[in-house]
Amino acid sequence: MPVYTIATIPFPDQKPGTSGLRKRVQVFRQPHYLENFVQSIFDTIAAPPDATLVLGGDGRYYNREAIQVILKMASANGFGRVLVGKGGILSTPAASCLIRKYRTFGGIILSASHNPGGPGGDFGIKYNTANGGPAPERTTEAIYAASKTIMQYRIADVASEIELDALGDSKLGDMTVSVIDPVSDYAELMESLFDFAAIRALLSNGFRIRFDAMHAVTGPYAREIFVNRLGAPADSVINAEPLPDFGGGHPDPNLTYAHELVDILYGDNAPDFGAASDGDGDRNMILGRHFFVTPSDSLAIIAANAHLVPGYKQGLAGIARSMPTSAAADRVAAALNIPCYETPTGWKFFGNLMDAGKVTLCGEESFGTGSDHIREKDGLWAVLFWLNILAARRQSVETIVREHRARFGRNVYSRHDYEGIPGDAANSVMKLLHERFGELQGAQLGNYKVLFCDDFSYTDPVDGSVSIGQGVRIGFTDGSRIVFRLSGTGTEGATLRIYLEAFEPDVAQHHLDAQEALAGLISIALEISELRQRTGRDRPTVIT
């Protein structure tokens, strides 16, 4: 196999974030750029000869070209077999499922998740290890270090394209390329966890659902599961065709970018249940008729109702949530008398806890929920969990949420994102907050008194690894909280996220709009960070 030695291989000018390397398509298309990163992965993971790899992506622009390159490099690097999703398609949760089911050495997932796609959009690449989860920080750091010093890469000298659209095996050098159905193994796993008969009965009883695949990867999965296996009418799944540019949309399932679905669920004659997923299928948004379920509440409600779901009725080992996620799940964990862990943002931190059997359910405020059935967050899994609960309880989404809050209290929650601000401005806001820790300590700000302020750091309870600088927290004496964090997944400027949370035990106040209930905390956040002055923005880009 030829070895290409190149004097200067362009390298990523930025550390891969929590979810691998994400860059503009034109950056990835620079000669040898993708090859650099792939060879750096292979050099770092040092797979034994004849190892098997899973490979697929969310179907975005450049997916197919990248797969051709990676297959040729896998062959030249001594892999024995690569399992590729037909058409190059694999959702992130399906890739995790395949790595685990077929006990492969690892997998490469091509996605920039919820970031826009197309020639002017983003592309991304991520390595997952044998447990099916994102590579741990020590591995991603090593890949990054390798990518800066790399001098050569190996690629098979094959001119022809590898057929990706027909199921079956073919040879690429000594390596076997197995093109597999991207949906069936995943759908089978879902059937083993949820009561499909009960959901089928619910749907045949006039309960109407709408799932928005946002022209991203979940379309084929949703059609197979909701329409073919659960008998929902075909129009229950909208925007089901994966498109390289996601139809020009922004496949991020939130109230801003999934407005088509939101309009349907808040319109006349709205269906009973609505849901959407993101570019690579690992996120979920849950809606009832004229009702939005915050992801933090969704995790808590899933935990509190897990006994109704066949795959979880034997009980939960524990729950984990990312630090900025609301403490609603903590209250359920306390009631169930099981541990609750608080981790940094990003799914990889949950993997160790799940592998050690410490937690069953995990969630993030960013529309990510999942369990130990795989090692990634899982959009359709969360939707099926809700449908299973709805089938068992036969109440509306809104009633289930209100009853939950009446029992556990309400963690009023919101996230304000300031997207695409200049990096300097974002850094100066974070620096200012750090400088103010001393003066903020114990300060009375309006109706709130500061109990503590710090920058969150985490010691992994399984392997002892330490992650610092995971977000500035300002905690108040009444349990309210403001968190400031810089996004690690954006590709344009910086994104500053402000997470706001207040606990409301009084049922009489539970109807209040979150922005109204959090108004006091919002103005404190803007004041202490000087965000408006430093960024020139007078409102967030996205409010969740």
Q: Among all residues, which ones are annotated catalytic? A: 113
The 312-341 site mask, x for binding Co ion (CB under 5 A), equals ------------------------------
Report the b/e string of 8-35 with b at 16+ CB within 10 A: ebbbbeeebbbbbbbbbbebbeeebbbb
Query: Which residue minimizes CB distance to ligand VG1?
Result: 113
Among 278, 297, 330, 378, binds ligand VG1 (CB under 6 A): 278
- State in angstroms the smallest separation of the CB of 94 from Co ion: 13
One symbol per residue from 70 to 109: x for binding Co ion (CB under 5 A), - otherwise; what is it? ----------------------------------------
What stretches of 158-239 adopt beta strand conformation (E)?
A: 168-172, 175-180, 209-212, 237-238
Strands 466-467 and 458-459, sheet pairing: antiparallel
Q: How does DSSP assign 359-377, residue by residue?
A: -SEEEETTTEEEETTSSS-
The DSSP code for 227 is I
* Closest distance to Co ion from the beta carbon of 217 (Å): 9
Should residue 487 be labelled a site residue for ligand VG1 when binding is judged by CB under 6 A? yes
CA distance 363 to 342: 10
- Judged by CB under 6 A, does residue 378 bind ligand VG1? no
Side chain identity at residue 493, one-letter code? G
CB of 216 to ligand VG1, least distance (A): 11
Say whether residue 136 binds ligand VG1 (CB under 6 A): no
Binding-site member from 195, 212, 282, 378 for Co ion (CB under 5 A): 282
Instruction: Please report whether residue 114 would count as binding ligand VG1 according to CB under 6 A.
Output: yes
**Based on CB atoms, which residue is closest to Co ion, 135 or 524?**
135
User: In terms of CB distance, is 81 or 283 closer to ligand VG1?
Assistant: 283
Residue that is written with structure tokens 């197309």 in the block: 118
User: Is the CB of 18 or the CB of 467 nearer to ligand VG1?
Assistant: 18
CA distance 507 to 517: 13
Site string for ligand VG1, 227-266 (x = CB under 6 A): ----------------------------------------
Is residue 18 at the binding interface for ligand VG1, with CB under 6 A as the rule? yes
- Of the candidates 456, 481, 476, 480, the one whose C-alpha atom is nearest the C-alpha of residue 466 is 456
- Size of interface with Co ion, in residues (CB under 5 A): 4
Contact 52/104 with Cβ under 8 angstroms?
Answer: yes
CA nearest to 518, candidates 411, 437, 440: 411
CA-based torsion, 243, 244, 245, 246: positive or negative? positive
Is 544 a residue that touches ligand VG1 (CB under 6 A)?
no
Which residues from 333-362 bind ligand VG1, rule CB under 6 A? Answer: 345-347
- Here the tokens at position 293 are 């379920």
CA–CA gap between residue 377 and residue 391 (Å, rounded) = 23
Which residues contact Co ion (rule: CB under 5 A)?
A: 113, 278, 280, 282
Interface positions with ligand VG1 (CB under 6 A): 17-19, 113-114, 278, 282-283, 322, 345-347, 364, 366, 368, 487-489, 497
